[in-house]
Amino acid sequence: METQILSPDEIEKAALIIKRGGLVAMPTETVYGLAADALNPEAVAAIFKAKGRPMDNPLIVHISELEQIYGLVSEFPEKARILAEKFWPGPLTVILPKSEVIPDEVSAGLTTVAVRFPSNPIARRLISLSCPLAAPSANLSGSPSPTNARHVYDDMKNRIDAIIDGGECDVGVESTVITLAEDPPRLLRPGGITPEQLREAIGEVIIDDAVFNPLKADRAAPSPGMKYKHYSPRADVVLLRGDINRFAEYVNSHYDKDTAALCYDEDIQGLRCEHISIGRAHDYNTQAHRLFTALRTADERGFKKVYAHCPGTSGVELAIYNRIIRAAGFEVIEL
């Protein structure tokens, strides 16, 4: 099939494709999603095929009005209500016990379903004109999530029906995922809504070990997505933890012509090798916004090794850390 690129004023066309069981990539405020009718099992199965995604990795269902969640879940506890009121529409996904309308293809056989109410007006309008949409990030399984329409096209060209080009995504990393199917709630994936914000709203929140560490061999994945290789460019990513001077010293004594530094603006003047900056050292929102483009740029420029400056682990930085440590295969060199 030939993939059509649609402009934001062609959302009706995209809604028709969805209603006929097709696949449309849509912008959200986090990353681009690859959407299909969440209640159509064949359409959902086609998402897995287009991405090359393992069938045991469940999908998020996207809604455009709070009321839609009541038909999708079998329980809606008080803490879910508080989070929805505070952070929706926005970059937060909640996991709750599913209702029987959710096809097994969406929940990958689990008894729960992940639901998100995005704030991006194009995504919301597409949902309003069609139905709740199952949508994973619109990249090939394993590569960095797409934050603009060109990233989607590079991965999905002629594998999906259409892409709505809504420009660059705001947040740049995927939504925060929290499960409320247990108490206390557990953070499964950090994102634009931080652990600090969640705790302020609902009290105790456990951070799952898989946010920081590779999944232990004897443990079932709490969120199946966490057991797969992720966010990885073809280049070998090496994470370096240390201040600006130690980072420069290490990179300057180890680089060759195929090496780039993935760094902060402040690092640039001390570096002798090629560099890709993700923003100023304390501007975490800009860093999140640019991270996936930077990883894709490293491949486009043909670098074989990327030395990345290791981020911290509080606030929005935790989301950046979580992605980059996966891109680096969980290895950090302490400087």
# chain residues binding Mg ion, by CB under 5 A: 1
Q: Is 143 in the site for ligand TXA (CB under 6 A)?
A: no
Other Cβ atoms closer than 10 A to 305: 17
Nearer to Mg ion, 15 or 319 (CB): 319
Please list every residue from 28 through 57 that binds ligand TXA, using CB under 6 A: 28, 30-31, 33, 57
* 335 exposure class (CB count in 10 Å sphere: 0-12, 13-18, 19+): middle
Q: Is 271 in the site for ligand TXA (CB under 6 A)?
A: no
Binding site partner of 3, from Mg ion, ligand TXA, none, Cβ cut-off 5-8 A by kind: none
Q: Do the beta carbons of residue 179 and residue 21 sit within 8 Å?
A: no
Q: Which of 112, 120, 130, 137 binds Mg ion (CB under 5 A)?
A: 137
Please list every residue from 219 through 238 that binds ligand TXA, using CB under 6 A: 223-225
Question: The dihedral of CA 308, 310, 316, 318: what is its sign?
Answer: positive
Cis peptide before 89 (omega within 30 of 0): yes
Binding site partner of 120, from ligand TXA, Mg ion, none, Cβ cut-off 5-8 A by kind: none
Cα–Cα distance, 7 to 118 (Å, whole number): 19
Nearer to ligand TXA, 215 or 281 (CB): 215
Q: C-alpha distances in angstroms, 162 versus 1, 31, 167, 268, 329?
A: 10, 16, 15, 39, 33
**Contact characters 172-211, ligand TXA, x per CB under 6 A:** --xx-x----------x-----------------------
Q: Do the beta carbons of residue 193 and residue 33 sit within 8 Å?
A: no
Binding site partner of 114, from ligand TXA, Mg ion, none, Cβ cut-off 5-8 A by kind: ligand TXA
Q: Which of 3, 40, 93, 322 binds ligand TXA (CB under 6 A)?
A: 93
**Minimum gap (Å) between residue 139 Cβ and Mg ion:** 6
Binding site partner of 259, from Mg ion, ligand TXA, none, Cβ cut-off 5-8 A by kind: none
Nearer to ligand TXA, 139 or 277 (CB): 139
Residue nearest ligand TXA (C-beta atom): 225
Residues that bind ligand TXA (CB under 6 A): 28, 30-31, 33, 57-60, 93, 95, 107, 110, 112-114, 116, 135-137, 174-175, 177, 188, 223-225
